[in-house]
Amino acid sequence: LYSFRARQIMISNGQQTMGVALPWAIGAWLVEPQRKVVSVSGDGGFLQSSMELETAVRLKANILHIVWVDNAYNMVAMQEEKKYHRVSGVNFGPVDFKAYAEAFGAAGFAVTSAAELEPTLRKAMDVQGPAVVAVPVDYTDNPLLMGQLHLSQLL
């Protein structure tokens, strides 16, 4: 999977545009339907537009969406901690993203260990049509990274 040419990758990281990855992937696939499109989001961002899986399934969009799973709006939590020294309302219960994807008619995958990551991604890349891969993540060190940013970069 390479992206060395212009206009091949879109990133909204840090811009608080949660929920755009899946719709962007569908749009990118509509522009070039002969290509596989890969998108990535956190679970909170995915849940904000995950109903678009119906669109992807209906169109038979050849997309793979990877969901980083931590059961929280983590970027929001980091900013709340930085600004207010506490977090509020950012955690949500566990979601079975594999079953969620399958309920829409997409292929669903769930990674449970580091050893499963590569083979699971390879299987998902082979799917012709929409696929979702849930990958657990640990953002414990993210606040340390945020500490390196100037407050003006967060506002």
Q: Could you tell me the CATH number of the domain that includes residue 58?
A: 3.40.50.970
Give the count of domains, the chain: 1
Average pLDDT over residues 58-86: 91
Q: What is the pLDDT of residues 117-129, one digit of tens each?
A: 999 999 999 999 9
Model-level pTM? 0.85
| Of residues 145 and 132, more confidently modeled | 132
Tell me if 95 is assigned to some domain: yes
The boundaries of the domain holding residue 42 are 21-153
pLDDT number for residue 137: 93
Question: Are 53 and 132 in contact, with CB atoms under 8 Å apart?
Answer: yes
Q: What is the pLDDT of residues 83-141, one digit of tens each?
A: 899 999 999 989 999 999 999 999 999 999 999 999 999 999 999 999 999 999 987 77
> How many Å apart are CA 86 and CA 67, to the nearest integer?
26
Report residue 127 as tokens.
């799917």
**Which residues have a Cβ under 8 Å from the Cβ of 111 and sit 6 or more positions away?**
117, 120, 133, 134, 135, 136
Contacts 24+ apart (CB under 8 A), 29-34: 29/59, 29/61, 29/62, 29/63, 30/59, 30/61, 33/61, 33/62
Tell me if 16 is assigned to some domain: no
pLDDT number for residue 113: 96
> How many Å apart are CA 80 and CA 87, to the nearest integer?
5
